[in-house]
Amino acid sequence: MIVDLNLDSKTVLVIGGGTEGMRKVHGLLGQGCDITVIDTRVNKDLLHLGQQDKIKIIQHKMTDISFMDSFKKIFIVLAATDDKDLNRKILEKGRAMGAFVYAADDPAVSDFSYASLTNIEGVLQVAISTYGKSPIMARKIRMRVERILHRIIKTSDLDNILLQDFARSLAKERIKSIKERKLFLYSLLKNRDIQNLILSRKLEEAKKITRRLIKNWQEIHK
């Protein structure tokens, strides 16, 4: 089962500042979580992200895991060091602290497996998972799928996603029935005026029409 967790404002520890830690950080960027990378040495890419205030970096000798005690309410712990025994200790400590845990060197002992993600303009994500059996093959297949997705997914699809997100927020406030909310959202996909604006890359104008339509919907469905 692939689950898209809500990481907004959650604390995520990535323990390991090498290539694997970097991959995990890049998968977390844009998720709205507070990312802290911990290791004795951290690669240049991560240091650059730290300088941009996108992540926090703590350079700490990895002789023991007592440094984890200084964190509260950790949501996810990612163990990405090159020391298998240390990774296991990190997992045990993370679980004891109530966090979801993942070891880059052995997904089988982790609480979840990592899907290989294709991110399209920060709007759409498609995940390829081998259930932890082969992360290498997941990445290889993802690269094939990514090329196809970039051909078949149009800019209008992405703008419709953004419009639907905007409309859902309005609908939750103004339409009580779940069934009615769904009908309203589907109606936007069939509305010619809105879809013509989407095709013309006039998303803000489409939002204005959406505001008007939801008011009319409320009046009609009182």
pLDDT by residue for the chain (222 residues), tens only, comes to 667 788 999 999 999 999 999 989 988 888 889 999 999 989 999 999 999 999 999 988 877 888 898 898 999 999 999 999 999 999 999 999 999 999 988 878 898 877 777 888 878 888 888 877 887 898 899 999 999 998 999 999 999 999 999 999 999 999 988 999 999 999 999 999 999 999 999 999 999 999 999 998 877 776
Buried b (16+ CB within 10 A) or exposed e, 29-64: eeeebbbbbbbeebeeebbebbeeeebebeeeebee
Residue whose structure tokens are 């419709």: 160
Q: By the 8 A CB rule, do 139 and 116 touch?
A: yes
